[in-house]
Amino acid sequence: MSARRGRKAVPSPSLMPARQARDVQLKYYLALDALCIGAGSRESVATLLGVVHTAYRLREFIGVADAQGFRAAENALLACLDRLECTASPEPAATLQASEKAAVAPVLRCFDGLLERVPMPLYLDALLAAIACLDAQLPSPIPPAAAEPSAPRPSTSSAAAHWLPR
C-alpha cells in the first residue's frame, strides 16, 4: 500500500519477455527467409500477414499514422499467395519478389520495435484480433488508399491463422 494515499500501487503493464519476443521474431524472419529463397508455404505467407495486421493495429505505439506501408506489405503478401494458389504443382513453394520483400521488410522492422514497447495485454489483443480476421477470412483491417475509396478490401486466406507463435 502506498503510505501517501492508502491505496495499493498499480503495476504498469508488463512487456513481453525478451526470450518470447526473440521467439516471435525468429518465426517471422524464418518465414520471410523461406519466401525469399523460394521455399515458402501458405503458412509462411500467413505468418507474415498476421504480423502485418498485428503491427497495423499497434502502430500508434511507434507514432505511425499512415497505413500506406502496411497496405503495401499486405498487398505484396496477397500477391504472393495468389501466385501460390495458381500453381498446379502438388507441392508448390511460394516466393516473394524483390519488390514485395522491399514492401514487407519495413513492417517487420516496425514490428521489432513494437515487441519492445507494447504492453503484453495490448499485444495479445491485437494478435487475437489479427488471428480472428485471418481465420474468418474477414476484410483487411487496413483501409484502402484514399485515392481509391471504392476499392474492395482484400480478403485474407484461411491458411493465415497458422502464424500464431506456438
Alpha helices in 63-119 (DSSP H): 68-85, 98-117
161 half-sphere exposure, CB direction, 13 A CA radius: 11
User: How many Cα neighbours within 13 Å face the side chain of 7?
Assistant: 4
Place of cell 482484400: 154
- Determine contact, residues 128/13, Cβ cutoff 8 Å: no
| Integer Cα distance of 43 and 94 in angstroms | 10
pLDDT in tens, 41-70: 999 999 999 999 999 999 988 788 789 999
Tell me the backbone φ, ψ of residue 52, rounded to 5 degrees.
Answer: -60, -45
**Whole-model pTM over 0.85:** no
For residue range 88-123, list pLDDT tens digits in order.
776 778 899 999 999 999 999 999 999 988 999 999
CB 70 within 8 Å of CB 58: no
